[in-house]
């Protein structure tokens, strides 16, 4: 397994290099000049040019990219053009809120999605199955910004039970976690249903029932355990999706998180901040995918990594 992990880690290097290059090209293709924003509306061309020279924005793009990669290899993500603070410091200030929101959302997604998928699979083509899948389709289809706004109106305005925004306490994470968790639970519910239906008609399940094993044990111990591989895969993918998808949710709920910081940095054309945030999120995503792959062997002992 050690050799497998080393090989996967080495494969991350070209992946992250490609992410950094693509991000660099896209962010520098966006119309607008951060030097004009920093210098001010009334700045002269000489003042704008002075800002460009100070920030190194007057150099050719290939020189800027090589300088960026050189700093990356030293663990330096650069300095934010807005705050003039290290980008890594800005990320670490906001990342705890984003990861807490993501973890809470994944917990809600797993609880609701697994429960709904099991309910549907145990009574296929029934009223219960149709109603559960209808709600899962609703969760997949609804935009998070609309759902978030509706929850704010209901629980913060009409029923003033929860705060409408902020991130200073755990109560501020309830509504955004519900928004992200329920939006992703529909995908997990549908996948859980299909995975269980593939397993539940196999011979070893019929044998367990013939031996008199209780139906609850048949479902949760034998069927669900053998259907976990695709479920674990989608949970890992959704974790990365939620981490990046928190951009809209954090903006709707005015949370001081990584997603909102990315939006603000894009508006300001803060190249180092945008590049650093996206590379940071991409690194977490590939690490989570590696951890998901390693979980397969714990679920299915027949899987071996060479």
pLDDT digit string, tens, across residues 233-253: 888 888 877 776 677 788 888
Phi, psi angle pair for 101, to nearest 5°: -60, -40
What integer pLDDT is reported at residue 139 of this predicted model?
82
Look at the block and give the residue holding tokens 């924003």.
37
Question: What number of other Cβ atoms are within 10 A of residue 112's Cβ?
Answer: 21
pLDDT, tens digit only, all 306 positions of the chain: 777 778 888 888 888 888 888 888 888 887 777 777 777 767 777 877 887 887 777 788 888 888 888 888 888 888 888 888 888 898 898 888 888 888 999 999 999 998 988 888 888 888 888 888 888 888 888 888 888 889 999 898 888 888 888 878 888 899 999 998 888 888 899 888 888 888 888 888 888 888 888 878 888 777 887 788 888 888 888 887 777 667 778 888 888 888 888 888 888 888 888 888 888 888 888 888 888 888 877 776 666 665
Assign 79 to helix, strand or coil: strand
- CA distances to 10, 195, 254, 296 from 304, rounded to whole Å, are 19, 22, 45, 9
What tokens appear for 163 in the block? Answer: 């705060």
Rounded CA-CA distance 145/293 in Å is: 32
Domains of the chain are 1-74 (no CATH), 88-299 (1.10.3720.10)
pLDDT computed for residue 306 by the predictor: 59
Per DSSP, the three-state class of 40 is coil
Q: CA torsion sign, 290 to 296 to 301 to 305?
A: negative
What is residue 112's predicted lDDT score, i.e. its pLDDT?
Answer: 92
Q: Give SS3 for 86.
A: strand
Cα–Cα distance list, 194 to 91, 131, 217, 225 (Å): 39, 16, 19, 14
CB 51 within 8 A of CB 35: yes
Alpha carbon separation from 62 to 57, 74, 75, 199 (Å, rounded) = 11, 19, 20, 54
- Cβ atoms of residues 267 and 219 within 8 Å: no
In angstroms, the CA 22 to CA 38 distance is: 25
Contact predicate 182/286, CB 8 Å: no
Q: Are 184 and 241 in contact (CB under 8 A)?
A: yes
**What integer pLDDT is reported at residue 245 of this predicted model?**
61
DSSP string over 170-181: GGGGHHHHHHHH
Tokens of 229: 């591989």
Torsion sign over Cα 98, 109, 278, 82: negative
How far apart are the C-alpha atoms of 187 and 199, rounded to whole Å? 19
| 152: Cβ contacts below 8 Å, ≥ 6 apart | 164, 165, 175, 252, 253
Q: What is the pLDDT of residue 302?
A: 67
């Amino acid at each position: 397994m050690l050799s497998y992990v080393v090989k996967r880690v080495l494969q991350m290097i070209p992946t992250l290099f490609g992410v950094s290059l693509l991000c660099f090209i896209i962010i520098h293709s966006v119309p607008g000049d951060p030097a004009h924003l920093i210098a001010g509306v009334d700045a002269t061309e000489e003042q704008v040019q002075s800002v460009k020279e100070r920030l190194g924005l007057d150099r050719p793009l290939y020189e800027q990219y090589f300088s960026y990669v050189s700093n990356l290899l030293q663990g330096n993500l650069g300095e934010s053009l807005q705050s003039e603070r290290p980008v890594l410091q800005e990320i670490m200030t906001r990342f705890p809120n984003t990861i807490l929101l993501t973890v809470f959302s994944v917990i809600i997604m797993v609880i609701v999605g697994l429960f709904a998928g099991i309910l549907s699979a145990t009574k296929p083509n029934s009223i219960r199955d149709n109603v559960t899948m209808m709600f899962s389709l609703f969760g997949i289809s609804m935009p998070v910004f609309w759902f978030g706004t509706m929850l704010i109106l209901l629980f913060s305005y009409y029923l003033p039970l929860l705060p409408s925004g902020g991130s200073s306490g755990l109560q501020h994470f309830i509504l955004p976690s519900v928004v992200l968790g329920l939006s992703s639970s529909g995908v997990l519910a549908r996948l859980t249903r299909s995975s269980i239906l593939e397993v539940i008609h196999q011979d070893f399940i019929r044998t367990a029932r013939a031996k008199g094993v209780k139906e609850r044990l048949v479902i949760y111990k034998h069927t669900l355990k053998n259907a976990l591989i695709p479920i674990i895969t989608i949970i890992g993918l959704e974790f990365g999706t939620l981490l990046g998808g928190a951009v809209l949710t954090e903006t709707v709920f005015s949370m001081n998180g990584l997603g909102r910081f990315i939006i603000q940095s894009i508006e300001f054309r803060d190249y180092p901040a945008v590049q650093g945030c996206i590379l940071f999120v991409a690194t977490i995503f590939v690490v989570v995918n590696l951890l998901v792959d390693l979980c397969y062997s714990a679920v299915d002992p027949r899987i071996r990594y060479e």
